[in-house]
């Protein structure tokens, strides 16, 4: 939502524990023109075809370099539209070089449906490997260790999700953000005419809830504590967030529910989560991570020198 890092502090003041800025592209670009976000109110959903409007990595980096009062800021980077897919590695790498010094974690967005070809980066394992290796090399030169995560979409087949989880571990990624918007929505309540008028793009919000949970459960089953899992997609209520944490999410995010819920939404979420935590009898949210999964809770030893620490630390503020 905060494409250019212009309102992290305002969002945190409303109650968000962290903000993920982006998607930021290496070169400045306008994104798609015309009407590019549409509400499907009966579905509590949005259709968007933003196409990564970004003031570019250099401008965003200089903004994030200033003083800030936000517990944690992740930065999500994506491919500049005009850059061919074969050159994606160098493009993401340029963004990583500029932004990593100011990021508590970095996300490689390989799942937006609004940049042609981008999703090949998540589906083709050789492309993904070379992208991650190139960015990793760059991060090796960053002033502090920056956890590197991958953002995947909900439209991958289940077997592809397993394969991405395996590859993420193999590539030494720190985690996965799941899920991006869908281009294959099912069971919408809005009438067909309204959906058609909304036009092409990725669908977010309540219709993503079931798939968002399913993908998270699958990832946690497959990777357990070896990956930090950030769950997003259709989270609307404290109960939804609690369910994701219990299913293995270390962090939870939302976009569409905030658009519909308004400025008090994060406050209501925090109050509700605090109540659910109290009712559970658990001493902290960290103890709840993965508690209902068949694998059981993660090892949340924040003193261990593993690279998940900075991301895990962000949860202390949520
Ligand atoms: C208007 C809009 C713009 C978005 N832009 C981005 C983006 O630039 N990068 C990205 O990784 N995800 C983007 N997303 C996807 C969201 O981050 C999130 O993954 C998705 O909307 C599902 O969460 P939700 O149901 O809480 O909205 C966008 C979503 C919306 C609605």
- Residue 171: the pLDDT is 92
Catalytic residue among 54, 95, 112, 190: 112
- How many Cβ atoms sit within 10 Å of the Cβ of residue 179? 27
Q: Say how many residues make up the chain.
A: 318
Residues 119-156 as b or e (16 or more Cβ within 10 Å = b):
bebbbeeebbeebbebbeebbeeeeeebbbbbbbbbbb
Instruction: Give the long-range contacts of residues 304-311, CB within 8 A, separation 24 or more.
Output: 307/145, 307/147, 307/174, 308/147, 308/174, 308/175, 308/228, 308/250, 310/72, 310/104, 310/105, 310/145, 310/146, 310/147, 311/104, 311/105, 311/147, 311/149, 311/174, 311/175, 311/228, 311/230, 311/250, 311/251
Helix axes 158-170, 209-223, angle to 10 degrees: 40
CA 204 to ligand 1 centroid distance, Å:
7
Looking at the domain assignment, is residue 1 inside a domain? no
CA 182 to ligand 1 centroid distance, Å:
10
**Could you state, in chain order, the average pLDDT of each consecutive group of 10 residues for the chain (318 residues)?**
93 95 97 94 96 96 87 95 92 96 94 80 84 92 85 94 94 95 91 92 96 96 93 98 96 97 97 96 92 73 42 40
Cα radius of gyration rounded to whole Å, the chain = 18
- Residue 299: the pLDDT is 57
- Residue 298: the pLDDT is 65
Looking at the domain assignment, is residue 3 inside a domain? no
Q: How many domains does the chain have?
A: 1
Residue to substitute in 181, 183, 252 for testing ligand 1 pocket (most ligand atoms within 8 angstroms of CB): 181
With tokens 């897919």, the residue in question is 85
- Give the residue, by CA position, lying nearest to ligand 1 atom 18: 180
Rounded Cα distance between 25 and 10, Å, is 23
Looking at the domain assignment, is residue 254 inside a domain? yes
Give the number of the atom of ligand 1 that is nearest the alpha carbon of residue 20.
17
CA 281 to ligand 1 centroid distance, Å:
33
Task: Provide the domain limits for residue 47.
Answer: 8-317
- Give the residue, by CA position, lying nearest to ligand 1 atom 22: 233
Contact 18, 61 (CB under 8 A): no
DSSP string across 162-200: HHHHHHHHHTT--EEEE---BSS--S--S-HHHHHHH-S
Looking at the domain assignment, is residue 205 inside a domain? yes
Helices then strands, counting H and E runs in the chain, come out as 13, 10
Looking at the domain assignment, is residue 288 inside a domain? yes
Nearest residue to 248 (alpha-carbon basis) of 266, 228, 263, 274 = 228
Residues framing ligand 1 (Cβ under 6 A):
22-23, 37, 46, 48, 50, 52, 76, 109, 112, 151, 180-181, 204-205, 208, 232-235, 254-257
Active site residue 304: no
Strand-pairing partners, residue 46, are 39, 204
CATH number of residue 258's parent domain = 3.20.20.70
CA 235 to ligand 1 centroid distance, Å:
12
Looking at the domain assignment, is residue 248 inside a domain? yes
- Residue 270: the pLDDT is 97
Looking at the domain assignment, is residue 161 inside a domain? yes
- Residue 117: the pLDDT is 75
Looking at the domain assignment, is residue 243 inside a domain? yes
CA 22 to ligand 1 centroid distance, Å:
10
């Amino acid at each position: 939502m905060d494409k250019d890092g212009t309102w992290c502090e305002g969002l945190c003041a409303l109650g968000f524990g962290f903000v993920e800025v982006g998607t930021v592209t290496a070169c400045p670009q306008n994104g798609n023109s015309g009407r590019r976000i549409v509400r499907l109110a009966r579905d509590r959903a949005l259709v968007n075809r933003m196409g990564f409007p970004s003031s570019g990595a250099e401008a965003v980096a200089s903004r994030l370099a200033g003083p800030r009062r936000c517990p944690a800021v992740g930065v999500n980077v994506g491919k500049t539209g005009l850059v061919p897919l074969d050159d994606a590695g160098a493009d993401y790498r340029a963004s990583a070089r500029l932004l990593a010094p100011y990021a508590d974690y970095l996300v490689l967005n390989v799942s937006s449906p609004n940049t042609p070809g981008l999703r090949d980066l998540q589906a083709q394992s050789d492309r993904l490997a070379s992208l991650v290796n190139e960015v990793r090399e760059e991060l090796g030169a960053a002033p502090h260790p920056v956890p590197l995560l991958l953002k995947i979409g909900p439209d991958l087949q289940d077997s592809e999700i397993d394969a991405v989880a395996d590859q993420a571990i193999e590539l030494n990624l720190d985690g996965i953000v799941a899920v991006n918007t869908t281009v294959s929505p099912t069971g919408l309540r809005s009438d067909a005419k309204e959906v058609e008028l909304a036009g092409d793009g990725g669908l977010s919000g309540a219709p993503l809830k079931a798939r968002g949970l399913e993908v998270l459960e699958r990832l946690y089953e497959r990777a357990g504590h070896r990956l930090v899992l950030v769950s997003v997609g259709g989270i609307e209520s404290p109960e939804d967030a609690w369910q994701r944490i219990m299913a293995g999410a270390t962090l939870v995010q939302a976009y569409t529910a905030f658009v519909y819920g308004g400025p008090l939404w994060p406050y209501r979420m925090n109050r509700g989560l605090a109540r659910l935590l109290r009712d559970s009898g658990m001493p902290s949210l960290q103890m709840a991570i993965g508690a209902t999964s068949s694998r059981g809770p993660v090892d949340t030893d924040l003193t261990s020198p593993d690279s998940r620490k900075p991301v895990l630390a962000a949860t202390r503020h949520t």
